[in-house]
Amino acid sequence: MTNEIETAALAARFPTGFTWGAATSSYQVEGSTGADGRGPSIWDAFVNEPGRVVDGSNGDTAIDSYRSIPEDVATIKALGLGAYRFSLSWPRICPDGDDRVNEAGLAYYSNLVDALLAEGITPWITLYHWDLPQTLEDAGGWPVRATAERFGQFASIAHAALGDRVKHWITVNEPWCAAFLGYASGEHAPGRREPAASIAAAHHLMLGHGLAARAIKAADPEAVVSVGLNFYPIHAATDTPVDLDAARRVDGVQNRWFTEAALRGAYPEDIVEDFKAISDFSFVEDGDMEVINAPVDVLSVNFYSRFTVTGNGGATSASAAPTGAGSAWPANEHIGFVSSGLPVTDMGWEIDPAGLTETLTRLHASHPEVKLAVTENGSAFPDKIEDGQIHDPERLDYARAHLAACADAVDAGVPLVGYFAWSLADNFEWAWGYTKRFGLVYVDFETGERTVKDSGRWYGDLVRRARANREAE
């Protein structure tokens, strides 16, 4: 009973029109990587290299979402969600990454959009969630300018096919991961370890964002355009100058680099100076920053954890280290990540709900003109089926605490317009394969069978209560 009262009280704290959803991405859920003319992506190649994925798995089947539109939409509906964020597989639509379109690939997304709309579920499309067509990587990948231009073209193709029904567009998801895990530490596809090239990759990902955002807005001024960035509160391990400087650097690369480029049209000067140690920035052309500074209607905030940082890299503690610690921070290899003693999820990521409020209020203070949406938030914990049920109190507590943190931000005046749980269902967790479960819905990876977890039921209950409150007003 107490819990029901608490849930009702939490639901009442969200404003009218708030978007409630869950998120996935193409390579993590679709499977059918060889079906209907889809071309290969960098992830198809990467997973086949020995040692890249901890359990040696791949996304060939994933959770079979390509063949499960009715089931997936029914699951979203059963949870009571009003929105579904999914990504388009670029090589499914443009198998060679150029302007030749694979109509069968487009048809899959068109059918998914129709099925969602028929159930009153609003689609939020992400254009790039890391599955670059392999042909574009063969031509140089994101360190090369032409990839950004191709991406702008892809955005126009996707929007021309789906823009009559889809209003919400997120251009690029987590360019930090795509650039620095993909091209600096090599922990993600394409697995390159070229720190200088990773900075060019980061620039071209943002240029791609700008080109895509402008193409969509030109086609539909009413479209709601966004870019998806991953944020972490950064704390210095001590107040020594070396640790404080490490915190400034990590905060700059993680929280300010992409945000300021998109929203202010300039990279933070202090980080430009740091990066000059390894890059001459010759890839930045006149006019690029204006393109990158395209209108953003909603900033998509992905939030999982916080970092405590030291300038003495040797002190890195494995449990506190983000994926890619050290080598994923080009020009900052001396930096380490230490535990602050907070409890951690199955990823080893510290749980810091107050850090979400801190992130949202800081973003609002720095960029008051833009609305915010939490487009990913969630936790991995090992799950066990017991009598056909999944009791996952830790995931439920994580969700409850982070939603309360969102409500605190709303109370503080942050224009927060939505929340998307990561993820709708357990799926392929990149270099962790199928060993980490983030879903509101449990997936039996052998049979594909779905079972709603306790956390999914709780989230659905919260959403229904929030909606009922507003309808009663």
What positions carry a catalytic annotation? Answer: 174, 376
Work out the number of other CB atoms within 10 angstroms of the CB of residue 111: 12
The verdict on whether residue 429 carries a ligand-binding annotation is yes
Q: Which is nearer to ligand IFM, 376 or 408 (CB)?
A: 376
Q: Rounded distance, CA 214 to CA 171, Å?
A: 10
The verdict on whether residue 20 carries a ligand-binding annotation is no
The verdict on whether residue 173 carries a ligand-binding annotation is yes
> Facing residues of 225 across strands?
169
Least Å distance, CB 238 to ligand IFM, is 29
Contact assessment for residue 136 and residue 147, using Cβ atoms and an 8 Å cutoff: yes
Least Å distance, CB 129 to ligand IFM, is 6
Q: Which is nearer to ligand IFM, 289 or 380 (CB)?
A: 380
Q: Which is nearer to ligand IFM, 170 or 407 (CB)?
A: 170
Least Å distance, CB 422 to ligand IFM, is 6
Q: Which is nearer to ligand IFM, 422 or 434 (CB)?
A: 422
Contact assessment for residue 398 and residue 458, using Cβ atoms and an 8 Å cutoff: no
Cα–Cα distances in Å, from 193 out to 183, 185, 211, 327? 5, 5, 27, 8
What is the residue-wise DSSP string for 33-50?
TTSTTPPPBHHHHHHTST
Least Å distance, CB 164 to ligand IFM, is 28
The verdict on whether residue 124 carries a ligand-binding annotation is no
Cα–Cα distances in Å, from 304 out to 80, 119, 348, 378? 24, 30, 11, 6
Question: Which of 94, 99, 147, 155 minimizes the C-alpha distance to 125?
Answer: 155
Q: Rounded distance, CA 409 to CA 405, Å?
A: 6
| Chain contacts with ligand IFM (rule: CB under 6 A) | 25, 28, 174, 302, 376, 422, 429, 438
Question: Does the N-terminal peptide bond of residue 190 adopt cis geometry, omega within 30 degrees of 0?
Answer: yes
Contact assessment for residue 233 and residue 355, using Cβ atoms and an 8 Å cutoff: yes
The verdict on whether residue 430 carries a ligand-binding annotation is yes
Eight-state DSSP code of residue 181? I
Q: Which is nearer to ligand IFM, 66 or 130 (CB)?
A: 130
Q: Are strands 122-128 and 168-173 parallel, antiparallel or unpaired?
A: parallel
The verdict on whether residue 304 carries a ligand-binding annotation is yes
| Count of helix runs (H) and strand runs (E) in the chain | 18, 15
Q: Rounded distance, CA 92 to CA 40, Å?
A: 8
Least Å distance, CB 352 to ligand IFM, is 16
Least Å distance, CB 28 to ligand IFM, is 6
Q: Rounded distance, CA 443 to CA 429, Å?
A: 13
The verdict on whether residue 203 carries a ligand-binding annotation is no
Q: Which is nearer to ligand IFM, 30 or 429 (CB)?
A: 429
**Binding positions:** 28, 129, 173, 304, 422, 429-430
Binding-site residue positions for substrate: 28, 129, 173, 304, 422, 429-430
